[in-house]
């Protein structure tokens, strides 16, 4: 797979994806860390082996997150043409889609399991309990 990708080094602080803007690359981190931010809050720290940029590469829609290099990093990057070549292999396509669904599952879990601090319900004193 790596023969179809470009290896790049990125300095700390460089923006790799911007929310609301077109994404032209899929990324696989080899070394370093990047912060994935959604709605202004850090959602995840991406590390070695993490993949990002896939949803917008599959859909050709704007990115839903910002990704900024937290440390200097090294990554494999695929342009649209390289990405399309990669996903023409059914096994690679399944693995990439599985990565997208894993992230979606994690996001749904986080949304549905947030601790909601509600006020305790007032207890009724009727009935002598």
pLDDT string in tens for the chain (129-residue length): 455 789 999 999 999 999 999 888 989 999 999 999 988 888 889 999 998 988 888 788 888 889 999 999 999 999 878 887 887 878 877 887 887 777 777 766 666 776 554 445 554 444 444
Note the CATH architecture for domain 2-112.
Sandwich (2.60)
Domain boundary assignment for the chain: 2-112
Strands 26-31 vs 51-52: parallel, antiparallel or unpaired? antiparallel
**pTM across the whole model:** 0.70
Sheet holding 51-52, edge to edge: 6-10, 73-78, 26-31, 51-52
């Amino acid at each position: 797979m790596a023969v179809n990708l470009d290896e790049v080094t990125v300095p700390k602080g460089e923006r790799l994806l911007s929310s609301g803007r077109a994404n032209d690359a899929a990324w696989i981190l080899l070394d370093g860390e990047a912060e994935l931010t959604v709605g202004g809050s850090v959602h995840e720290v991406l590390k070695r082996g993490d993949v990002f940029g896939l949803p917008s590469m599959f859909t050709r829609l704007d990115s839903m997150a910002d990704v900024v290099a937290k440390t200097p990093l090294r990554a494999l990057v695929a342009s649209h043409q390289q990405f399309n070549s990669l996903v023409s292999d059914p096994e690679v396509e399944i693995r990439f889609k599985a990565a997208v669904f894993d992230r979606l599952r994690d996001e749904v879990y986080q949304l549905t399991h947030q601790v909601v601090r509600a006020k305790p319900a007032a207890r009724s004193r009727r009935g002598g309990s």
